[in-house]
Amino acid sequence: MSLRIGQIALHSKDNKTLASFLSELLDMEISFSGEAVRLTSEEFSLVIIEDPDMSPKSSMVIDFFTDSFEELQGLIQKIEFIKYRYRITFVTDEGKVLEEVKIHNVGHLHYFFLSDTDGRRWKFSYRENKTPVVNPFVK
């Protein structure tokens, strides 16, 4: 079986602000679909539905992977540039607010979290290629 992500539907107290933020962050195109805002890229799409009564507490975390550690660091620079405009925050694994980003390292995985304009957590990661284990007794 092969699975692909079709689209991710998000609810937002202010779907246009969230769409602007995500469009800038993820380099996605914005279009309008009825009352919702649609963001598209070659890999996936997001549909953001206006929901004034949405709960700011969400247990869902969306995890994106970069192709290199340098791209992960570049994303941090991009976020630093736009974070004040949208009042977003960097957060710990548990959701506590940080003044600045901290890349966490767990084995070959490097990652950080940030919160969007609705308080939803996003995770950005880079996984190093593991070096194959060499058995010195096998030729």
pLDDT in tens, 31-51: 998 889 999 998 889 999 999
The Cα–Cα gap between 89 and 102 comes to: 12
The Cα–Cα gap between 21 and 85 comes to: 9
pLDDT band, very low/low/confident/very high, at 137 (cuts 50, 70, 90): low
pLDDT in tens, 59-111: 678 889 999 999 999 998 888 888 888 888 787 777 788 777 789 999 899 99
Q: Identify the residue with better confidence: 4 or 119.
A: 119
Three-state DSSP string of the chain: CCCCCCEEEEEECCHHHHHHHHHHHHCCEEEEECCEEEEECCCCEEEEEECCCCCCCCCCEEEEECCCHHHHHHHHHHHHHHHHHHCCEEECCCCCEECCCCCEEECCEEEEEEECCCCCEEEEEEECCCCCCCCCCCC
The domains found in the chain, sorted by start residue, are: 7-51 (3.10.180.10), 60-138 (3.10.180)
* Whole-prediction pTM: 0.79
Mean pLDDT of the chain: 85
Phi/psi at 82 (nearest 5 deg)? Answer: -105, -5
